[in-house]
Amino acid sequence: MTTNIATLETELTAAVETAADEAALEAVRVAALGKKGSVSELLKGLGGMSPEERQLAGPAINGLKVRLTDLIAARKAVLAEAALDARLMAERVDVTLPARPRLKGSVHPVMQVFEEVQAIFADMGFAVAEGPDIEDDFHNFTALNFPEKHPARDMHDTFFFNEKEDGSRMLLRTHTSPVQVRTMLSQKPPIRITAPGRTFRCDSDQTHTPMFHQIEGLVIEEGIHMGHLKGVLMEFMRAFFEVDDVEVRFRPHHFPFTEPSAEMDVRCDRSGGQIRIGTGSSWLEILGCGMVHPNVLRACGIDPDVHQGFAFGMGIDRLAMLKYGIPDLRDMFAADVRWIDHYGFTPTVQPNLATGLS
């Protein structure tokens, strides 16, 4: 009996030590300590022995069981560590390898232009403000001095949501101007912000998409006048189109939220089928602007006798088309990888005024 146990222990020890992986080790464990395992069978045999036999065999078999269990646990730890090492080696990634060209993403021209515009205005001390895409009538129209039932509201081709129980309807903001209202309601002057974002109108052709992008500008301080507006916008045009001199002109216009209101054009050259900004005999409409209407200031809790300000708004997609020669606006949002390969920008280069915008 004792020799049997000793032989079995030698065999089992060898089997445990040569088990090549965790699965092989588990097979050895089951064959020895499982329900019908060799050691379990020996333990079952104890019941049929005489007390004298049992006194000898009992501790021997139990000792074997304990030693074997410990041995298996130790071997298991070694094998688990080896398996992990092998996996780590196999899954190793060399982070110093250059990116594979096909995996490289690129920055959409609209996002590039947002970054460029923000870099220019940040340099002039403008913070960035944001507002929700889903707006209410108050922020999108009423506080901006659009009269109730005025046709100007329809001119915006607004996407409305279904009526709520109180009869009001939420809408997709038709311009970024509601962010002016939100900013004036939540901050005290002096205010100097731009508000970039998505805007929506029910309109679609070569130069209109139902979703498009605008950037709004707002400055509220004491003593602000149109000279400041003009200076800021001229500086912006010069920096954005990366030309030393840009001639601009302001045409009288109407917006409910500004008084006086103007549209700003830049001088350009349209000869040769291309638009070149800066010089030439043509004009190109770029943006709407004006002095913030006293009614808007009042609606936002600002005293127009103390604080004045200017505002402007422009289409980012149009700026991108102009600057980067993109012919059709709809292609911008068609998500065609060939288009983005052609017009996209390197993601690792952040536009800034020090090293150049684009």
Binding site residues, ligand DAH, CB under 6 A = 175, 177, 216, 255, 258, 288-290, 311-313
Helix (H) / strand (E) containing 198: strand 191-200
> What are the residues whose beta carbons fall under 8 Å from the beta carbon of 145, sequence distance 6 or more?
256, 257, 293, 295, 296, 299
CB of 230 to ligand DAH, least distance (A): 13
Task: Please give the order of strands across the beta sheet that includes 169-172.
Answer: 134-135, 169-172, 160-163
User: Is the Cβ of residue 175 or residue 213 nearer to ligand DAH in the bound state?
Assistant: 175
SS3 229: helix
CB of 253 to ligand DAH, least distance (A): 8
Distance between CA atoms of residues 159 and 127, nearest Å: 29
Number of C-beta neighbours around residue 346 at 10 A: 11
User: Is the Cβ of residue 189 or residue 290 nearer to ligand DAH in the bound state?
Assistant: 290
Distance between CA atoms of residues 345 and 350, nearest Å: 10
CB of 263 to ligand DAH, least distance (A): 8
User: Is the Cβ of residue 121 or residue 312 nearer to ligand DAH in the bound state?
Assistant: 312
User: Is the Cβ of residue 154 or residue 166 nearer to ligand DAH in the bound state?
Assistant: 154
Number of C-beta neighbours around residue 220 at 10 A: 24
Distance between CA atoms of residues 241 and 358, nearest Å: 10
User: Is the Cβ of residue 200 or residue 240 nearer to ligand DAH in the bound state?
Assistant: 200
Closest CA to 259 of 285, 298, 286: 298
CB of 283 to ligand DAH, least distance (A): 18
CB of 270 to ligand DAH, least distance (A): 24
CB of 130 to ligand DAH, least distance (A): 16
CB of 355 to ligand DAH, least distance (A): 30
Distance between CA atoms of residues 301 and 146, nearest Å: 17
User: Is the Cβ of residue 24 or residue 226 nearer to ligand DAH in the bound state?
Assistant: 226
CB of 303 to ligand DAH, least distance (A): 20
| Residue 45 tokens, joined | 């045999």
SS3 269: strand
Distance between CA atoms of residues 270 and 77, nearest Å: 77
Contact 135, 173 (CB under 8 A): yes
| Residue 160 tokens, joined | 């409305």
Contact 151, 262 (CB under 8 A): no
Number of C-beta neighbours around residue 318 at 10 A: 21
Q: What φ, ψ does residue 99 adopt, rounded to 5°?
A: -65, 145
Give the number of residues written for the chain.
358
User: Is the Cβ of residue 200 or residue 345 nearer to ligand DAH in the bound state?
Assistant: 200
User: Is the Cβ of residue 158 or residue 343 nearer to ligand DAH in the bound state?
Assistant: 158
CB of 174 to ligand DAH, least distance (A): 7
SS3 144: helix
User: Is the Cβ of residue 145 or residue 258 nearer to ligand DAH in the bound state?
Assistant: 258
